[in-house]
Amino acid sequence: MTLAGLSLRDLEYLLAVAEHLSFGRAAQACAVSQPTLSAQIRKIEELLQVECFERAPRGVLITPRGAELVAQARLVVAEARRMFEIAAAGAAPLEGTFRLGVISTLGPYLVPFLLKPLRARFPQLRLLLSEGLTRHLARQVEDGELDAILAASPLPGPDLTELKLFREEFVLVVPRDHPLARVDQVSREDIPVPELILLSEGHCLRDHALAYCPTRLQIDRPELQAASLETLRQMVAAGVGCSFMPQLAVQVGALLDDMVAYRRIGDGTMARDVALFHRPGFSRIRDVRLLRQAIREILAEHSAVKVAATLA
């Protein structure tokens, strides 16, 4: 059986359908039309003489043999990307394309401080940014789709190498007319647990809140869940409840700051450690370490960003 007609792009189409379980969403992710993607999948199935997917009215199912082929395709694509990593490793430091993922509760608040200084330091760097949930981004690093990610530690899922950056405390955010808005600092016992708004499943901040209030927090209230930090901030401003907010999100001037109050939590244990993560065998480790050093120096220089002491 010849595989001469099979390309890496075809394998990427196969992986996209397996990930999204939808031809429409997979086509959007691959920036092609749905008929084009469907035709390529049919070509793959005919070439391999295997039905990889079952087309059902409510979505797509992966067949048992299709699952084996998807796993192998993931390895092939990852190794092909590694060839480009090896080629890029001999170039000048942080030159060319670097694909960086950032978790969604960090990206909008940290990235604006980094882009201009990084461009000044590394003018040949083409930084491609992706934002998403921790598990999805970690999987993309493992599969070679991203070079590294900025996320909270410890990282669930894949065994990635961690380069610590800084510790960021959380504060309690309450409506301006809340009784706690009149105090300078709160303790763990002061947290109004029944009023807490959580981020939806998959956000690290949700896990931090559950860990901080493990015996008192009820999580079966979907009306007190938010899809993003900005939605959460708006819910607090509307008087729906209270929540936790990372320091960077507080300091990057929100429009609703006149409607909410931020209060430091006295014991300092409600915090997250932010780190860079990459594959253990990543050939551009020099670039990752340079990026880490640059981020730490930029944060130290930028007076608007005040996070807790940098970790070793």
Q: What is the tens place of the pLDDT at every residue in 151-170?
A: 999 887 778 999 999 988 89
Mention every residue, 6+ apart, whose C-beta is less than 8 A from residue 170. Answer: 205, 208, 244, 245, 246, 247, 265, 270, 271, 272
Among 88-92, 145-149, 222-226, the least confident range:
88-92
CA–CA dist 49, 276 (Å, integer) = 42
Per-residue confidence (pLDDT) for residue 152, from 0 to 100: 92
* Cβ proximity of 220 and 184 under 8 Å: no
- The structure's pTM equals 0.69
Per-residue confidence (pLDDT) for residue 183, from 0 to 100: 92
Per-residue confidence (pLDDT) for residue 174, from 0 to 100: 92
Q: What is the tens place of the pLDDT at every residue in 211-257?
A: 888 765 655 555 567 888 888 888 888 888 889 988 888 876 555 56
Mention every residue, 6+ apart, whose C-beta is less than 8 A from residue 53. Answer: 17, 18, 41, 45, 60, 61, 62, 63, 66
Q: What percent of the chain has pLDDT over 90?
A: 14
For residues 279-287, average pLDDT: 84
- Residue carrying the six token digits 């969403």: 25
> What mean pLDDT, rounded, does the chain reach?
83
Per-residue confidence (pLDDT) for residue 32, from 0 to 100: 86
Phi-psi region of 182 (alpha: psi -120 to 50; beta: other; left: phi over 0): alpha
3-state secondary structure the chain: CCCCCCCHHHHHHHHHHHHHCCHHHHHHHHCCCHHHHHHHHHHHHHHHCCCCEEEECCEEEECHHHHHHHHHHHHHHHHHHHHHHHHHHCCCCCCEEEEEEEECCCHHHHHHHHHHHHHHHCCCEEEEEEEECHHHHHHHHHCCCCCEEEEEECCCCCCCEEEEEEEEEEEEEEECCCHHHHCCEECHHHCCHHHECEECCCCHHHHHHHHHCCCCCCCCCHHHEECCHHHHHHHHHCCCCEEEEEHHHHHCCCCCCCCEEEEEECCCCCEEEEEEEECCCCCCHHHHHHHHHHHHHHHHHCCCCCCCCCCC
CA–CA dist 17, 19 (Å, integer) = 5
Among 90-99, 136-145, 175-184, 235-244, the least confident range:
90-99
